[in-house]
Amino acid sequence: MSKRLSLIVASVALMFAVSSVHAADTKQPTASQQKLGDCAKQNKGKKGDDYKNGVKACMSGSTTAAPAKQTPQEKMKSCNVDANAKALKGDDRKKFMSGCLKGSS
């Protein structure tokens, strides 16, 4: 019977050890890790140096995170995101998109 009791005690101790290791694995990211994740999401779709520079600018808090020269596809995507954020529809959206794509908005 003492073997059975020691087996139960060992099993319980093992369960506590495993649960504490699991709890350590589920830590929340630090503030800088969270910011890095957010910056990576903002620069999704970019490649190579554009991606690295975008993330670096975002992490440093630079206001010039966007590249100086965007491709037409990137500009269209950016303008669409802005128009959606403003919930523009119809003529207002057309006017906004036109100005945004020309660079005046």
**In the chain, where the domains are located:** 70-105
Max Cα-Cα span within the chain: 84
Question: What span, in angstroms and rounded, lies between the C-alpha atoms of 42 and 17?
Answer: 39
Burial profile 36-54: b = 16 or more Cβ within 10 angstroms, e = fewer: eeebeeebeebeeeeeebb
What is the predicted pLDDT for the residue at 74?
87
Global confidence as pTM: 0.36
pLDDT digit string (tens) for 44-92? 888 888 888 888 888 887 654 455 577 888 889 989 999 999 999 999 9
Q: In percent, how much of the chain has pLDDT > 70?
A: 80
Question: What span, in angstroms and rounded, lies between the C-alpha atoms of 101 and 80?
Answer: 10
**Mean pLDDT computed over 1-8:** 74
